Structures are given as structure tokens and as C-alpha cells.
Chains A and B, each alone.
Chain A
Amino acid sequence: MKAETLPSSEFARWTAPLARQVTLASRKKDLHVGDRLFFWFMFSAASGVVVLLFLIAFFLGFSALPSMARSGFSFLWERNWDPVAGEFGALAFVYGTLVSSFLAILIAAPLSVAIALFLGELAPKKLAHGMGFLVEMLAAIPSVVYGLWGIFVLAPWLRTDVQPFLGKSFGFLPIFQGPPYGVGMMTAGIILAIMIVPTISSLCREVFRAVPRSNREAALALGATRWETMRLAVLKSSKTGIFGAVILGLGRALGETMAVTMVIGNRNDIALSLFAPGQTMASIIANEYSEATTSLHLAALAEIGLTLFAVTFVINAIARLFIWRVKRGAR
């Protein structure tokens, strides 16, 4: 096969170097039939991953067709969700996803940066190693176990201790009003925060590692304290990377399903109070998809899934762009 005979499409532009490689390798035909076969085998596996992403988008779009034909994407800002009456508005779920994820980021981002700083800059090596292991174990616990813990430990604690206190002290804020349910937006946000801390902190550690040692030494040599060194030499130059790590955590939080489904209370409505139960885009799919009977109901849920896929895709692409830039800069 010659590289010149390939069509000059975009695809060929990507594969041309490979084809050339194969052409070069297969000059001596008798030896290299196996090489070509092997190459195409590995190549098809790799391109399968690319195809898979397109297939996911395609199949979700196909499943969502009846709903999209009915209302396009306007159902994302309609409020009523009543499958029996044939009303499908996803606003409450979009709201739930956004609020719970931002709450999670609000809690997890400072904690993760603190862990990354402590483990990377302050702690002695052995302690850092041990605590790093514990953080990884935090990430290894399955989502459903966090949900279980959320139902029976976290939610009761929030209901009896934390939420009454918040209501009493900060009750003038609308987000802390209303009866403490335990299960609800706040519980979901906290569980999500716990689950994304490992992701954000390990990325932050990588970002901090990319800062040259000489920057720290320069700050210390000028008489800066340890904290000033961290602030001036490490944090200041890692802003982009931290931002990327937090966005990646956000992407994780948006799509997280089981733990949230178990503790958010599953109520299809919008409430300003963080104590109130709600519903997220992922949790409504988990709750209703296997029990949906009408094709329109299934399609509406698939359309929510498609939206979730698109949003997490864009967010992750942005985050990786940021982190990639930081890592490339370090080289």
C-alpha cells in the first residue's frame, strides 16, 4: 500500500504518517505481513475508542428522538415533570445538578488545595505517603457505599445537629430556611464534595510538582516563611492548574449518580433552601429509567442523559486543556 493512493480527506491526514510507517515497515513483504496485521489490529482497537464516543452520542440522540421532536431542548427550562400527564420539563433536575455540584465544589476546592499543599510542601515524606494512600482509599470506596453511609450516618447527623444549628444562626438566609429533612440538597453536596476531593487534590499535587524547585528556594532565600513561600512561589504560578483541577472535579460531580440518588430525597421540585429535598439529572434517570413505560418518558430521560453527556464532555475538555497547558509548560 502506498501513502499517495490514500484519499486526501481529513481522516487520511491523520492516518498518513501511520500509513507511511506501515509502508516503510512492509518493504520486505515476506517478513512483514504479520506486522501489518498486528498494526491494523491495534489500530482498529484504538480507533474503536474514538468511534465509541461517537456511538454514545449517536445512540443517546437516537433514543432521545421522540422527545427532541416534541420539544427540542426547550424542555430544559420547563418546570413541570409529570410522566403520567405527559409533561416533561427538566428544569428542576438541571437546578438540582447545578446547585449540588457547586455546593460540592465550594466545600471540596479549598480542602483539596489544602491537602495538596500539606502533602506536597509541608508533611515529612513518610506522613505524606501514608496520607496520600488514605486519600486514594477515599477514592476507591464505591459510590453506593457512600450513599449507604449518607442515608444512615450523614443525613441523620445533619438533621439532628447541623441543620437546626444553621437554621437558628443563619436562618435569615433563604438557603438555610425550612424544616431540616436530613436528606436533601445539602447532604448531596457534602457527599459529592467527599467524593471529588481525591480527584482535585491529586491533580493539584501534580500541578504543584510542576513548579520548579528553584522558585521555592528563591522565596526562602529572600527570607519568606514557609507559608509565604507556598503563597508566592507555588500558589501564584499554579492558578491555571488549580482552576483546571477544580473544573475536572466539577465534571465528576455533575455526572455522579448513586450516592446522590440515595441522599438527595428525590423530589421533583425547585426549592431555594438547601435543607429541602431535590433531584438531579443523573438521579432522575437512575430512579425512573427502568420503570418508565411510555416511549416519550424513556426518550425524555434519554435526552436528559444526552444533555449530561454533552455538558460533562465540554467541561472535561476545558479542564484537560488547562491542565495540559500547565504540564507542558513544566517541561
Chain B
Amino acid sequence: MNSAMLQNYLNEGYAKRQWLDRFMRALLLVASVIALLPLFSVLLYLFKNGLPGIQLSFFTSLPKPVGEVGGGMANALVGTCTLVSIGTLVGVPWGIATGVFLSEYGRSRFASVVRFCTDMLSSVPSIVIGLFVYALVVVPMGGFSAIAGGIALGLLMIPTVARSSEEMLRLVPTHIREAGLALGLPRWKVILRIVLRGCVSSISTGVILAVARVAGETAPLLFTALNNQHWSEGLDQPIASLPVQIYTYAISPFNEWNTQAWAGALVLVFLVFVVNILTRAFFVSDGVGRE
């Protein structure tokens, strides 16, 4: 093989490698676009099928029986707010306290067990949480209730809130804690008044994202809060919620109901997206609320 042939050979190999490189880069781009297509399709159809159902009556009136025109999801909107509020009362203090423990007292072996369990709790299927709350709350209370549904949502919030507040608290430099202690403050005051106060905004970002996540949960509500075609008569009664109502209407064979389902889904996604975009715009920090 003379040098010209060698050069030729190398050039050919180089051309092949170049071609493969270009091909693979294009492939990666195409794959990324394909993976994002469903997002655009979902949004497109949400607007196309959901917008016609969005009228004032959708937000102000109760569901109507099949065949009657109109009707809305006012009770489901209020129901979702109620359920999420109960969930927040349960999940947020518990989650933040766990986060404080993990960041402020988190060097022991027990803390890593807690950390592991928080991760495991976040991967428990939400329907299993529903089964758990059914046995824990619904059976002793003797019926489906808003309280049971709220507790189920609260339990789902704990891991997200705990891990995000732990991360945020860890960003507070040690010397700030030391400064507080050096002033003679007891530790609990240092944690509550200095460390936690410094992260109020970032912790609330995590909380808000957790709220947005559980607001769309359906599976744990199916047999805890059940559903209700009317206004709920109390926290110990079954209550409607936006996701469950969407589910019920989506699988029904009636066109009017399907339209309502699309409208409800548009409202739900709109709320979730607004919360996500706003929190990201205001608190630009990667990793908040993510697993």
C-alpha cells in the first residue's frame, strides 16, 4: 500500500465517520422532537375541544343530567379547592418538618433511612395510597368523605415537600446558623427565625408545585372522596373534584358530557401550567419540586 492509497483509505474512513456523526446527530434531534409531539397534540386538542365548553355557566352552575343543555363544574372546582386545602393542611407541615429534620439533624444513619423512605413514599402508586386511606379513614368513618380525599392528597404531597425543602434549607450557609448561635439564640429559634425565614420563598415554590401536582390526581380520590353531582353538604360527605369529574365525563357515552370533560381538562391544565410557569419565572432555580 503506497501513501496515496493509505491517504485514500483514511479519507474514506473519515467520510464514513463524518456521515455517521451527522446521521446520529440528526437522529437525536428527530427523536427529541418526536418525544415532544404529544405535548403539542394534547394542548392543541385541549383548545380545540375544550374552548367551546368554556362559558360563564361552566364556572357557576352545577352539572345537569344527560340531555339537558348547559351545566357546569362549579361544585367540582370548589371541591378540588377544598380537597387540596385539606391536603395542604396535612402534607405541608409534615413535609416541611421532615425537610427541617433532614437538613438540620440529617447526618445520622436514621436520617438516611428517612431519606430512603421519603423516596420510596414518592414512588408508591397513587392508587395504592387511595386503598390505604380507604382502610384507614373511609372504613372507620363509615363512608366516603372530603376528609379522606384530602388526607390522601396530603400524603402524596409529603415526599415532594420534604425533599424540596431539605434541598432549599441546605443552601443556607452554615455560618448564618453559627452567627445565630453565637448570639446566644437557642437552636430552635435559629432554625425557625433565621434559617427557615431565609428560605420562605423557595420553600413555598416547592409547596406550590406540590399543590399543582396533587390537584390533578384522580386515582386516590376514586374511593376516598368519591364524587358528587351536587354541592357537598360537609367535610364528612362525598365531594366532587375536577379530575374525577373529568374522568366520569370522559368515559361516558354522551357528547355533551365529553365536551364538558374537555372543558374541565382545559381548565385543569391551564391552572397547572400557570402555576408551573409563574413559579419558574419568579424563582429561577433548577431542581425545585423535581424528584
Contact = CB atoms under 8 A, between A and B. Distances in A.
Interface in A245-261: 248, 251-252, 254-258
A18 interface: yes
B249 to A, nearest CB: 9
A57 to B, nearest CB: 9
Contacts of B192: 38
Interface in B3-24: 17-18, 20-21, 24
Contacts of A169: none
A257 B192 CA distance: 39
Contacts of B272: 140-142
B112 to A, nearest CB: 9
B42 A286 contact: no
A32 B17 CA distance: 69
B81 to A, nearest CB: 16
Q: What are the nearest 3 A-B pairs in CB distance?
A: A255-B125, A142-B216, A45-B97
Interface stretch (A83-91, A127-135, A159-167, A271-279): A127-135
B-side interface size class: 35 or more
Contacts of A14: 108-110, 113
A15 interface: yes
A42 B188 CA distance: 10
A316 to B, nearest CB: 4
A49 B119 contact: no
B183 to A, nearest CB: 13
Interface stretch (B60-68, B200-208, B218-226): B218-226
Given A111-B31, A286-B219, A144 B243 contact: yes
Contacts of B125: 254-257, 282, 308-309, 312
A141 to B, nearest CB: 6
A163 B107 CA distance: 55
A46 B216 contact: no
Interface stretch (A73-81, A172-180, A210-218, A225-233): A225-233
B132 interface: yes
A170 interface: no
Contact of B32 (A119, A142, A256, A286): A119
Given A15-B108, A42-B101, A257-B219, A118 B32 contact: yes
Contact of A38 (B123, B188, B215, B246): B188
A6 interface: no
Contact of A35 (B134, B188, B218, B223): B188
Given A46-B101, A56-B124, A285-B131, A140 B213 contact: yes
A115 B35 contact: yes
Contacts, number: 279
A145 B268 contact: yes
Interface string A24-57: 0100000110110111011101111110110110
B195 to A, nearest CB: 12
Nearest to B21: A225
A18 B113 CA distance: 13
Interface residues of A, number: 94
A34 B105 contact: no
B192 to A, nearest CB: 8
A312 B124 contact: yes
B42 A149 contact: yes
A59 B132 contact: yes
A131 B42 contact: no
B104 interface: yes
B38 interface: yes
Interface stretch (B71-79, B228-236, B258-266): B258-266
A208 interface: no
Contacts of A257: 125-127, 218-219
B268 A142 contact: yes
A122 interface: yes
Contact of A43 (B105, B126, B158, B216): B105
Given A45-B94, A59-B136, A152 B258 contact: yes
B218 A320 contact: no
A302 B131 contact: yes
B29 to A, nearest CB: 6
A122 B49 contact: no
A69 interface: no
Contacts of A37: 188
B273 interface: yes
Given A53-B124, A152-B250, A312-B128, 15 more contacts: A14-B110, A46-B101, A48-B98, A49-B98, A49-B121, A56-B129, A59-B135, A138-B39, A142-B216, A147-B250, A199-B291, A251-B123, A262-B247, A285-B131, A302-B135
25 contacts: A15-B108, A34-B188, A46-B98, A49-B94, A50-B117, A52-B158, A59-B136, A60-B135, A110-B31, A122-B25, A122-B28, A131-B36, A137-B39, A140-B213, A142-B215, A148-B265, A149-B38, A225-B20, A227-B25, A228-B21, A257-B127, A290-B222, A316-B120, A317-B116, A317-B120
